[in-house]
Amino acid sequence: MPFSSFGFSPALLRSVGMKSYAAPTPIQVQAIPAALAGHDVLGSAQTGSGKTLAFGLPLLQKLEQVPLEKPRRLRALILVPTRELAAQVGGEIYSLAQHLPQALKIITVFGGVSINPQMMNLRGGADIVVATPGRLLDLMEHNALTLNDVSLLVLDEADRLLDLGFSAELDRLLALMPKARQNLFFSATFPAEVMALADKLLRNPVRIEVPTEPQTRPDIAQRAILVDANRRTQLLRHLITENHWKRVLVFVATKHAAETISDKLRKARIYAEPFHGELSQGKRTQVLADFKASRLKVVVATDVAARGLDIAALPVVVNYDLPRSALDYVHRIGRTGRAGESGVAVSFISADSERHFRLIEKHQQGNVEREVIVGFEPLEAPMAETESVEDAQPSTGGIKGRRPSKKDKLRAAAAHGQDDVSTRAA
**152-155: strand order across its sheet:** 106-109, 128-131, 76-79, 152-155, 182-186, 41-44, 206-209
pLDDT of the residue at 158: 85
Q: Are 318 and 234 in contact (CB under 8 A)?
A: no
Q: Residues 25-72: pLDDT tens digits?
A: 899 999 999 999 999 999 987 666 788 999 999 999 999 988 887 789
pLDDT grade, residue 208 (50/70/90)? very high
Beta bridge partners of 42: 185, 207
Confidence at residue 332, expressed as pLDDT on a 0 to 100 scale: 86
Rounded CA-CA distance 277/81 in Å is 13
Mean pLDDT value across residues 140-147 = 95
349, 321 contact by CB (below 8 A): no
Residue range 402-414: average pLDDT?
A: 49
Confidence of residue 394 (pLDDT cuts 50, 70, 90): very low
Cα–Cα distance, 73 to 361 (Å, whole number)? 49
In this structure, of 61-65, 90-94, 409-413, 414-418, the range with the lowest mean pLDDT score is 414-418
**Separation between Cα atoms, residue 16 and residue 362, nearest integer Å:** 41
Q: Which are the contacts of 62, defined by CB distance < 8 A and separation ≥ 6? A: 36, 76, 152
**Does 128 score more than 50 pLDDT?**
yes
Q: What is the pLDDT of residue 419?
A: 42
Within 334-394, residue ranges assigned H as helices are 354-364, 389-392
Does residue 226 have a pLDDT over 80? yes
* 360-385 average pLDDT score: 85
- Residues 298 and 249: their CA atoms lie apart, in Å, by 6
Higher pLDDT, 117 or 341: 117
3-state secondary structure (DSSP) of residue 347: strand
Long-range contact list for 93-98, CB < 8 A, 24+ apart? 93/52, 93/56, 93/59, 93/60, 93/128, 93/130, 95/15, 95/19, 96/12, 96/15, 96/16, 96/53, 96/56, 96/57, 96/60, 97/15, 97/60, 98/15
Is the fold of 3-209 the same as that of 218-392?
Answer: yes
Split at pLDDT 50, 70, 90, the class of 218 is low
CA angle 159, 110, 291 (to 5 degrees): 85
258 pLDDT band, cuts 50/70/90, is very high
Give 76's strand partners: 128, 152
CATH superfamily of 218-392: P-loop containing nucleotide triphosphate hydrolases (3.40.50.300)
Does the domain spanning 3-209 belong to CATH 3.40.50.300? yes
Name the average pLDDT for the chain.
85
For helices 83-96 and 51-64, the axis angle rounded to 10 degrees is 50
**SS3 of residue 402 by DSSP:** coil
Side chain identity, residue 170 = L
- 8 Å CB contact between 245 and 297: yes
CA pair distance 353, 383, nearest whole angstrom? 9
Residue 404 has pLDDT above 70, yes or no: no
Confidence check: pLDDT of 389 > 60: no
Alpha carbon distance 34, 38 (integer Å): 7
> What is the three-class DSSP state of 65?
coil
pLDDT at 366: 85
Helix (H) or strand (E) holding 203: none
Cα(154)–Cα(134) distance, rounded to whole angstroms? 16
Q: How far apart are the first and last CA of the chain?
A: 76
DSSP single-letter state for residue 340: T
Domain ranges of the chain: 3-209, 218-392
- Neighbour-count burial of 64, counting CB atoms closer than 10 A to its CB (0-12 exposed, 13-18 middle, 19+ buried): middle
Computed from CA positions of residues 116, 120, 123, 126, in that sequence, does the dihedral angle turn out positive or negative?
Answer: negative
Ranked by mean pLDDT, the top range of 144-158, 159-173, 407-421 is: 144-158
Q: Is the pLDDT of residue 406 over 70?
A: no
DSSP 124-176: T--SEEEE-HHHHHHHHHTTS---TT--EEEESSHHHHHHTT-HHHHHHHHHT
Burial class of residue 221, CB neighbours in 10 A (0-12, 13-18, 19+): middle
**125-59-340 Cα angle (round to 5):** 125
96-105, 184-193, 222-231, range with the lowest pLDDT? 184-193
Q: What is the pLDDT of residue 148?
A: 94
